[in-house]
Structure 1
């Protein structure tokens, strides 16, 4: 009888333990979550992060607090995310191909791609060629003509060094037989500011970063690095159209959410569901369209597969970046 009673007590304790585990998982998150952005305020990734964060709260039950860790072309922020506590309270944006370019081109980078647990992709944002609204260059052809007339003299700026924007410039210079002087910034925001201040002949921000400045009449976009015209700038030709020759579009920024590897599966699943809910939220979709955010949703599995494919595909461009 004692043995029987003990068995029932043990079973009851086991059920309580299981119930406690389930309750603990269900309670996540119990406090605000830090969302690391590897670029400065005002750029495309920062804008996307702050916009998405407003809506995640509704579906996650906790705030996402954006923390900018800019510098070294994203390396500082990516490294901080890779080494963060995998308790589910520190996640971040990872940018493709920048995160992989940094890893493949530099020595002693303190992260591996295996240090990240993909959660969901949010955006696919092409690179554009932008000039100050008062610039003498009215078309991309005029800018290219000036660059060819005085190789290396025109300053053109973007995220960097060794960013997706610089990759796009190098590939374009190779295809168009031109030579600009590349100036690296900690994000699209500072590069745009330098363009507006006359320090740069042009800059290479993302389409979403340039959008509000174009609407305000401060910037003019001369070309879009994409296979098709951007819905944000339907009257602006692709760079290939404007240049009259094929220019590979390799710099578009894929922006997605990742957690540090080792995050509990149930916490990752909770995050993945919350971002899926946001990406299907009519209010968010309407806001994104108004704000000019080019969305591209992938769930965790699809995002992880894309990361692996992109990592392998970058090989043919690495020599151009060295």
Structure 2
């Protein structure tokens, strides 16, 4: 009798497990979401990630924990994502060229595009060059003239080696013939501190970082490497393009949400849906209005589809002046 009762209990339990089945998109998300930002606190990527995380928390109904994993120009954070369980509960926010640059310029890339999947783009911002007002530079021409008068002395800071801002700085240096130092700072936060302390003569960072300081007259915008027509600060829309000084490239970083490879397709689709809802939310819209640019929507499929060509473009177009 006891044996029969035990068998009945086990059978009932197994039936219950079979009915429950594995977690699916219907259940997703049902737990905390980990959102990696592969840079230190204080920069533009960190600000965007935290605003997006708050919006994602609203639309998903689950807690979203933002985790800064800086180091190696964003590579450490992407490796953490690569090695995460492919269940949809670990995602990352990063720019497309920040992910593709190591594939284009490193002899032994730390990862492959196939290690990741995409949940959609959320933001697109051009790079711009700024300088402390005390330096007296009104535009990029003033900076280049000063650099030619003091060869090898001036410093143009960037957010990191082989970053979008590094491409801008290196191309300006290579096409202008001016001799100045291009110094990477390992993230927007550290560069921001250096620019505000006037420890560099100018810095390349992604707009609209520094917008409040520019509005207050503490910093000057010297040039931009992309279209400024959508910035909500009207005076900045007239910023001259770096091509006016011979650097004929367009550099605007598309930031998106990344997932590890192997996430079930239905969970990927659900996360993409949540990403779309989050960037349309009132809180993220308000963030964009205060930050300077609105959201830039792109599906996960479209975001991922453009990456192989970006790797080739980096190799053939932007590599001419970049020092590895």
1:74 and 1:228 mapped to 2: Cα distance? 26
**Corresponding pairs, count:** 310
Unaligned runs of 5+ in 1: 1-12
The structural deviation recorded for 1:19 is: 5.5
Give yes or no for contact 2:156–2:182 (8 Å, CA) kept in 1: yes
Cα 1:301/1:194, change in 2 over 3 Å? same
The structural deviation recorded for 1:24 is: 4.7
Cα 1:155/1:264, change in 2 over 3 Å? same
Q: Secondary structure at the match of 2:235?
A: coil
Residue 108 of structure 2: aligned partner: 108
The structural deviation recorded for 1:108 is: 3.2
Q: Secondary structure at the match of 2:306?
A: helix
Residue 152 of structure 1: aligned partner: 152
1:270 and 1:16 mapped to 2: Cα distance? 26
1:179 and 1:84 mapped to 2: Cα distance? 44
Give yes or no for contact 1:140–1:243 (8 Å, CA) kept in 2: no
Report Cα offsets for 1:229-260 as digits up to 9, x if no partner. 452453244443x7734533343211000100
1:57 and 1:50 mapped to 2: Cα distance? 10
1:230 and 1:245 mapped to 2: Cα distance? 23
Report Cα offsets for 1:98-131 as digits up to 9, x if no partner. 2111222124332111101011101111111111
Report Cα offsets for 1:22-79 as digits up to 9, x if no partner. 8754222222111111111111111110011111112111122111111221111122
When structure 1 is superposed on structure 2, of 255-264 and 284-293 the one drifting more is 284-293
Give yes or no for contact 2:141–2:245 (8 Å, CA) kept in 1: no
Residue 6 of structure 1: aligned partner: none
Show the 5 A alignment for 1:270-281.
270-281=270-281
Residue 319 of structure 2: aligned partner: 318
The structural deviation recorded for 1:152 is: 2.4
Cα 1:230/1:173, change in 2 over 3 Å? farther
Give yes or no for contact 2:24–2:267 (8 Å, CA) kept in 1: no
When structure 1 is superposed on structure 2, of 296-305 and 224-233 the one drifting more is 224-233
2:202 and 2:229 mapped to 1: Cα distance? 20
Residue 60 of structure 2: aligned partner: 60
CA RMSD of aligned residues (A): 2.5
Report Cα offsets for 1:180-211 as digits up to 9, x if no partner. 20111121121121111121001111112222
Residue 175 of structure 1: aligned partner: 175
Give yes or no for contact 2:93–2:255 (8 Å, CA) kept in 1: yes
Show the 5 A alignment for 1:113-262.
113-229=113-229, 231-236=231-236, 237-240=238-241, 244-262=244-262
Give yes or no for contact 2:133–2:218 (8 Å, CA) kept in 1: yes
Give yes or no for contact 1:73–1:102 (8 Å, CA) kept in 2: no
Cα 1:117/1:304, change in 2 over 3 Å? same
Residue 3 of structure 1: aligned partner: none
When structure 1 is superposed on structure 2, of 142-151 and 116-125 the one drifting more is 142-151
Q: Secondary structure at the match of 2:91?
A: strand
1:27 to 2:33 alignment: no
Unaligned runs of 5+ in 2: 1-12
1:194 and 1:185 mapped to 2: Cα distance? 9
Cα 1:229/1:149, change in 2 over 3 Å? farther
